[in-house]
């Protein structure tokens, strides 16, 4: 099975989201979602107070609530995608055309400047979203394979190949237990 593709900005942002959802331990993922909800609640309360006419009496408090809400929401909801977009645009290596050959033995990859033949045992695991596959080399290093690069009839066989040779990544703790074996 062979694919040739270039990662685009949308693929890269989706890969970063998947990476965060897979690698971050559950308590940390829950804390991030909770902080996004808190930031959104601050914004909603500030807007409610403003439109209900109660903001005039407590304008500094309402303004502080709004600023804190925007700040918290920005840090936990907007900044990760902004940062991924910035990294994608800054590093041309991410955008290079890649040709990959997958087989029961492993993965053969080549681009303009590199060529590698990696057996499946050199990968730590995989993850999948609606639009990308990630192949992990370590807890923080992964390869992105956009599903749009595969003919529709090849996605299922590729998924089966991953399942036969690798375990799904779950968290950093899961990685350390699988990497020692």
Quote the CA–CA distance of 179 and 175 in Å, as a whole number.
Answer: 6
Domain boundaries, the chain: 2-7+94-179, 9-92
User: Is the Cβ–Cβ distance between 138 and 124 less than 8 Å?
Assistant: yes
How many CA atoms lie within 13 Å of 68's alpha carbon, on the beta-carbon side? 14
Q: How confident is the model at residue 180 (pLDDT cuts 50, 70, 90)?
A: very low
Q: What is the CA radius of gyration of the chain?
A: 21
Quote the CA–CA distance of 157 and 53 in Å, as a whole number.
Answer: 60
Say whether domain 2-7+94-179 belongs to CATH 3.30.9.
Answer: no
In the predicted structure, residue 174 carries a pLDDT above the cut 60: no
User: How high is the mean pLDDT of the chain?
Assistant: 83
Please tell me the least confidently modeled range out of 2-6, 8-12, 58-62, 135-139.
58-62
pLDDT, tens digit, 9 for 90 and up, residues 64-111: 888 888 888 877 777 788 888 888 888 888 888 889 888 899 989 888
Q: What angle do CA 48, 31, 39 make, to 5 degrees?
A: 20
Please tell me the least confidently modeled range out of 29-43, 48-62, 149-163.
48-62
**What does the pLDDT read at residue 160?**
92
- Residue spans of alpha helices (H) in the chain: 9-23, 26-51, 59-73, 79-90, 152-165, 172-179
- The pTM of the full predicted model, rounded to 2 decimals, is 0.71
In the predicted structure, residue 177 carries a pLDDT above the cut 70: no
Neighbours of 149 (CB within 10 A): 19
């Amino acid at each position: 099975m062979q694919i040739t593709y270039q990662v685009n900005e949308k693929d890269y942002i989706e890969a970063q989201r998947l990476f965060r959802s897979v690698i971050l331990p559950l308590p940390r993922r829950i804390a991030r979602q909770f902080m996004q909800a808190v930031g959104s609640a601050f914004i909603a309360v500030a807007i409610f107070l403003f439109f209900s006419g109660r903001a005039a009496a407590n304008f500094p408090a309402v303004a502080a609530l709004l600023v804190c809400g925007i700040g918290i929401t920005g840090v936990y909801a907007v900044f990760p995608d902004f940062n991924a977009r910035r990294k994608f645009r800054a590093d041309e290596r991410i955008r290079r055309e890649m040709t990959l050959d997958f087989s029961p033995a492993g993965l053969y990859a080549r681009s303009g400047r590199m060529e590698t033949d990696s057996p499946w045992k050199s990968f730590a695991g995989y993850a999948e979203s609606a639009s990308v596959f990630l192949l992990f080399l370590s807890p923080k290093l992964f390869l992105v394979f956009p599903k749009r690069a595969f003919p529709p009839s090849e996605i299922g066989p590729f998924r089966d190949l991953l399942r036969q040779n690798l375990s799904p990544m779950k968290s950093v703790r899961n990685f350390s237990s699988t990497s020692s074996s």
